[in-house]
Amino acid sequence: MSGQVSAEAAGTASTVENVLAELQEWPVDNVAAAALWDGTTATYGDTAARFPLASVSKLITAYAALLAVEEGAFELDQQVPAELLPEFDDLPTVRELLAHTSGIGFRGRSPEKPRGARRIYSSAGYEVLADFIAAEADMPFADYVAKGVCAPLGIEVMIEGSAGHGFSASVDALSALCAEFLTPTVLAPTTLREALEPQWPELSGVVPGYGMQKPCPWGLGFELHGEKSPHWLGEKMPATVAGHFGQSGTFLWFHPETKKAAVVLTDEDFGDWAKQRWDGFNQRLWEAMG
């Protein structure tokens, strides 16, 4: 594995570069990263290389769903049509699907719990959202994302497979997405603020790879750090840090209040190697940003 740290803007803190340089010791073949803070960007590796995003894809699907709400395609508290979830007697809302409180299982479109009873992390729920967007916008979901999210940001994302875990993109693309999350232009700031509010904050649930969290806070598509432990974010990072990680060895986090964000993409599937490194790395990166 090879990598190189670079930085943009005068006065970039060398400590951020030092933390990013830790990536060369990770047990992965390829890794690229970016850290954003105070109008500065520091990068590591080939930021134009495309990586599978796994569940970081959910952030893009969620953003598209929030855009569809703004455009009047449907409402957050509108129930999805029965044809999308024929096994449900009590149909979940868009809000519940975004916040993983719909009761739908992880992979299939069958109910596991009553809606609102527990935080059940679900990729299938995001596939339902994609189908609903396509139906109401009268265009393929990939086209909606490309035109509504990617084009305004000038980024390229491969929208294929599951809307919950099938996309791929580069660090360059996700850095632009981080900047959007910090200072929204595609969405109204009020929409993003609502998306970053805990939804059903008392609910417990499992964070894949990290076990049961009581409670397990989540926004509208965005995982919220809260007081989760163990976790992929640093223990001393604020409860309001938001983002997502993916089983392809990827993560993205951001904090609008301090204008800090980071993205790391690798080609090594999530496992013990990541659990041993990610929280400490993110804590050190957070602190290095000042």
Q: What is the pLDDT along the chain (290 residues), one digit of tens a residue?
A: 445 655 544 344 469 999 999 999 999 999 999 999 999 999 999 999 999 999 999 999 999 999 999 999 999 999 999 999 999 999 999 999 999 999 999 889 999 999 999 999 999 999 999 999 999 999 999 999 999 999 999 999 999 999 999 999 999 999 999 999 999 999 999 999 999 999 999 999 999 999 999 999 999 999 999 999 999 999 999 999 999 999 999 999 999 999 999 999 999 999 999 999 999 999 999 999 99
| Domains defined along the chain, listed by start | 5-288 (3.40.710.10)
Q: How far apart are CA 242 and CA 198, in angstroms?
A: 10
**pLDDT value, residue 5:** 59
Distance CA 17, CA 20 (A): 5
Q: What is the pLDDT of residue 2?
A: 41
The per-residue pLDDT for 107 is: 84
Helices 171-182, 57-70: axis angle to 10 degrees equals 40
pLDDT at 12: 42
Amino acid at 120: I
What pTM does this model have?
0.95
Residue 127 φ then ψ, to 5°? -70, -35
Find out whether 260 and 252 touch, Cβ atoms under 8 Å: no
Torsions phi, psi of 225, nearest 5? -60, -50
Cα distance between the two ends of the chain:
29
